[in-house]
């Protein structure tokens, strides 16, 4: 059953999907309609899941599940991924690929594969203070705590691209 994202408790499980480019208004409507339909009937082993979604920057889809009464199972998570993979085909864009790095360049959001981002880091074109999107977060509390859109030094990006240990808050 779908509930408003703002009503998700901090302990709710979270998945973040990043579209390869900003979605048009029509694409946003289509994406959210399909996701809403899916969340309305999403279940794990027959138990309905209390789920929510949010779309930010016309690009990042957040899906959350309050597992207080029923937890998302591997099969139910696979079902969500299948729905999103089908949307990828219909819309002609990547949505489920978690490999690319998304980061800010001024007011814009850039997207590079990890090798290209690593090369930019090596050349000093991105740095530990570059704002990145940590799409590996797994709890709604991480969003509320400001751990999603952060300087690279405060995320896994520090270890992966800058030879440092990510800061922990």
Domains annotated for the chain, with CATH where assigned, are 5-91 (3.30.70), 101-162 (no CATH)
**How many contiguous H segments (helices) and E segments (strands) does the chain have?**
5, 9
Per-residue tokens: 149 = 């859109």
Q: How many whole angstroms separate alpha carbon 153 and alpha carbon 147?
A: 11
Nearest alpha carbon to residue 83 among 45, 41, 49, 47:
41
In the chain, the DSSP E strands lie at 13-18, 43-44, 47-48, 50-56, 60-66, 101-105, 108-112, 131-133, 149-151
Q: Partners of 131 in the beta sheet?
A: 151
Nearest alpha carbon to residue 109 among 139, 130, 88, 138:
130
Residue-by-residue pLDDT tens, the chain, 169 positions: 889 999 999 999 999 999 999 999 999 999 999 999 999 988 777 777 899 999 999 999 999 999 777 667 677 788 889 999 999 999 999 999 999 999 999 999 999 999 999 999 999 999 999 999 999 999 999 999 999 999 999 999 999 999 875 555 4
3-state secondary structure of 44: strand
């Amino acid at each position: 059953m779908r509930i408003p994202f703002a009503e998700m408790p901090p302990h709710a499980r979270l998945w973040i999907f990043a579209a390869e480019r900003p979605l048009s208004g029509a694409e946003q409507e289509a994406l959210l309609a399909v996701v809403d339909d899916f969340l309305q009937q999403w279940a794990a082993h027959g138990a309905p899941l209390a789920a929510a979604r949010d779309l930010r920057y016309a690009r990042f889809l957040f899906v959350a599940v309050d597992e207080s009464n029923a937890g998302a199972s591997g099969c139910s998570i696979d079902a969500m991924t299948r729905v999103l993979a089908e949307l990828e085909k219909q819309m002609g864009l990547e949505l489920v690929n978690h490999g690319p790095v998304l980061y800010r360049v001024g007011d814009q959001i850039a997207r590079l594969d990890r090798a290209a981002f690593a090369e930019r880091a090596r050349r000093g074109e991105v740095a530990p203070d570059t704002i990145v999107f940590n799409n590996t977060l797994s709890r709604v509390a991480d969003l509320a705590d400001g751990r999603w859109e952060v300087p690279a030094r405060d995320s896994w990006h520090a270890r992966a691209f800058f030879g440092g240990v990510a800061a922990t808050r």
